[in-house]
Amino acid sequence: MSIINQMRLEFMGCPQNESFARVVISAFAVQLNPTIEEVSDIKTAVSEAVTNAIIHGYEGAQGTVVLSATINDQHILTVEVEDRGRGIADLEQAMQPFYTSHPELERSGMGFAVMQSFMDGLEVTSTVGEGTHIRMRKHFARDEK
């Protein structure tokens, strides 16, 4: 497999930029001729990843979120969201549905579950004090005529 296109964007980890990330990833993915449902899935998954970076990674402190994406010759979109925030102490627990480290914020604890259900693959790595890296994949079928 070879990469046929890629992008990388760094932005301030503030809530206003969550919608910016959604627009950017949908504009990048449009070259794969996605359905409206596929675009919605990608935007939702990216929204969850970026929101997690802002709320949990930086917890109100100033920080940078990195959004990158590649498209390969197999019509697979790979999206990565990274922060250099506090990291996740117990990744297994954090990935459980309904788990939230901030119940006072009325968060549902479904971020990772949403990412898993809307994308075809999810990998999360995190180191306490260094940050979190999320990699998601979505395969786009092509009509070969």
Which residues are CB-contacts of 46 (< 8 A; sequence separation ≥ 6)? 21, 22, 25, 67, 79, 81, 136
Query: Residue 135 gets which letter from DSSP?
Result: E
Q: In whole angstroms, what is the distance from residue 97 CA to residue 108 CA?
A: 8
Which one of 48, 82, 84, 86 is the catalytic residue? Answer: 48
Which one of 17, 52, 82, 84 is the catalytic residue? Answer: 52
Q: In whole angstroms, what is the distance from residue 93 CA to residue 5 CA?
A: 35
Which one of 72, 107, 135, 137 is the catalytic residue? Answer: 107
Residue 75 and residue 142 in contact, taking contact as beta carbons nearer than 8 Å: yes
DSSP 116-134: HHHSSEEEEEEETTTEEEE
Catalytic-residue membership of 52: yes
Catalytic residues: 48, 52, 107
